[in-house]
Amino acid sequence: MGSDDDAWFEDYDTDMSNGSGSGGYPSDSDGGHAGSSSSDDDGDDGFERTQPGALVQSRSRLYTIIDRPSLRRLQEEALHQVQGIMGCSATVARTLLTYFNWDAEAVLGTIAERGQDEVYKRAGLLSQSDEAVGTAAGAPPPGADVACLVCMCDVPAGEATAMGCGHTFCNDCWREHMRINITEGMSRRLKCMAHGCGVVCDEDKVKTLLRGQGPLLQKYEQALLESYVDDNKRVKWCPSVPHCGRAVRSKDLNCEVDCACGHKFCFACCEAQHSPATCDMLGDWSRRMKDGSETSSWLNANTKPCPKCSKPVEKNGGCNLVLCRCGQAFCWLCGQATGRAHTWTNIEGHSCGAYKDEAEARATEAQRNLKRYLHYLTRYEANLQACKLEEKLRKDVEVKVEAMSEADPSLANTYWLSDALAQLFLARKCMAYSYIFAYYMFGQEMFKEDFSQEANAINQALFEDKQGQLEAEVERLSQLIENPWPPAGGDEMLSHRMAIINLAANIDTRVQKMYEVIECDIAPQVASRGVGIAPYKGKHATGSGGEAAAEVYRQAQAGGSGGAGPSNSHMPSSDIIDLTEEEGPRSARKGKAPAGIGALATRSKRKAGS
């Protein structure tokens, strides 16, 4: 599409979207599609909502994994939907869907609003009346030769083909035209080769012409099949290397995908999962780390260019006369070249006047920005480094549990430990990228138009409070897992085991509360740009905070009675964490934690007290 088509199509998106003005991705009926399904149609995600319970409910399942057989079936269903409503051929339906990014609702809605003739023209099609006229005009008389205007040869009518637009050329020229376009990746919009025509070739006629060229026909059909992914805004290939062959369809761009092949990625940018940082934040952060922009900030803060050779010079003394290695002396205050004769108070023959407020302010600001960047960078890298040690820690713990299981057979069931390790590393990943989020959100740069300094300070304090609580719990769980454990078979080991289960559940709740601050308090205030953050999908976040955690407690209780796990009655009351407690001034509008957690915690406290 050219620039006019882009503007026209974008105008439709704005007009026909569901009122959000966010780019227009009308939801279609997912039904029961695809091999490994993890999607339903509960509605879009948006930051206008301010109730955490509604956020969790609408995000229960956000995407669908599509394998090759499912891909073909989904494409055929979309084609049949448009064909059934409009009564058109498969070629027309495919061309319309390709033009509208495989959004059937957009096709039908645009035709209803703009008219069929205009839509067909822009998509590279003829209206039904024009197609009938073109077919009649292009049909040669029976037994007559056809003059091919490409090779300038007269060929029998049986060796020429007329497309729906009426243009007729010999089959050899058609095949060469198709070979070139298919080789160059133009299979999905294979157009007539007549000058200025631009009408898409009929799919059945293309297949007939390529029938004797197996590899080329296969490539053409493969491109038509993969068009459902390549031309679809809501479907993307899994970026795994080597490619697993699966695709992912999501109703929301802001989604983190766990492909069936094991690869985890952000649906919007296809990079590694990075929530709660946005794709824009991650992109700028990555560029900073690659191009050394903070090195430039340090140079701006601590050096000045020599007026002769322009190389940076760092001042290492108290005198304002600075001597470059090239031999040029200059004034540190104003940067002008001077002679070498000077005293502690002035430079001979030079007076740059008063103290340079503006230059000093720039240097101070650069130093502040550098320190701020290093603060967040240090914590980001520390948490990522801890995540990289996941496999080593997992193996060390397995060895430890295997050695202790001989004395305590109940430790042979390690579901509770696997759950805690998964939650620990997921929380560390969220914490790492939360520092990128904080760096940009509260830096008064990317979002300076949205917040005053006072509002920015309030948001930062609220976010860092939740971030700090999460960090403390994560470090506590890490110590419980990594430090030496109590002897197996006693009450101390049971208490230690239950403390790990409690902390894993509590960390999940802490992460959810940090996300709630972003989604319910900070994001709704941003008007200058979208804050596209993938929702949290933690180990226990299958419903409103902690339902799966409650299941862990129930399994632990059942295991305690059957010899497979600890009983809550062995836990000291100080180690039972009541996840129903709310924190801060936002408690009045937050959703309640499941009753199961509070009930189990209360029951354990009563047992410990008795």
Specify which residues 65 forms β-bridges with.
Answer: 36, 248
User: Tokens standing for 18?
Assistant: 């569901």
Cα angle 545, 550, 551; round to 5: 120
Report CA 19 to chain centroid distance, whole Å.
23
List active site positions.
319
Q: What are phi and psi of 249, to 5 degrees?
A: -110, 130
Q: Give the dihedral sign, CA 302/308/310/311.
A: negative
Tell me if 434 sits within 8 A of 514, measured CB to CB.
yes
Q: Is 590 helix (H, G, I), strand (E, B) or coil?
A: coil
User: Tokens standing for 327?
Assistant: 């031999």
- DSSP-derived letter for residue 516 is H
Omega of the bond leading into 156 within 30 degrees of 0 (cis):
no
- CA–CA dist 396, 389 (Å, integer): 11
Tell me if 514 sits within 8 A of 276, measured CB to CB.
yes
Could you please report the per-residue DSSP string of 37-83?
A: EEE--S----TT---HHHHHHHTS-EEEEE-HHHHHHHHHHHHHHHH
> Which residue type occupies 16?
M
E runs forming strands in 324-451 = 329-331, 337-338
Tell me if 598 sits within 8 A of 579, measured CB to CB.
yes
- CA–CA dist 46, 55 (Å, integer): 8
- CA–CA dist 28, 103 (Å, integer): 8
Q: Is 354 helix (H, G, I), strand (E, B) or coil?
A: coil
- CA–CA dist 122, 116 (Å, integer): 10
Q: Within the chain, how many helices (H) and strands (E) appear?
A: 19, 15
- Burial label for 447, CB within 10 Å (0-12, 13-18, 19+), is buried
> Which residue type occupies 202?
D
Cα angle 155, 156, 161; round to 5: 85
Work out whether strand 160-162 and strand 247-250 pair parallel, antiparallel, or are unpaired.
unpaired
Specify which residues 338 forms β-bridges with.
Answer: 329
Cα angle 390, 396, 399; round to 5: 140
Specify which residues 200 forms β-bridges with.
Answer: 191
Report CA 138 to chain centroid distance, whole Å.
50
List for the chain the helix, strand, coil content (%; round to 5): 55, 10, 35
Tell me if 161 sits within 8 A of 174, measured CB to CB.
yes
User: Tokens standing for 539?
Assistant: 């180990």
User: Tokens standing for 383?
Assistant: 């948490």
Per the listing, tokens 């301010």 go with 50
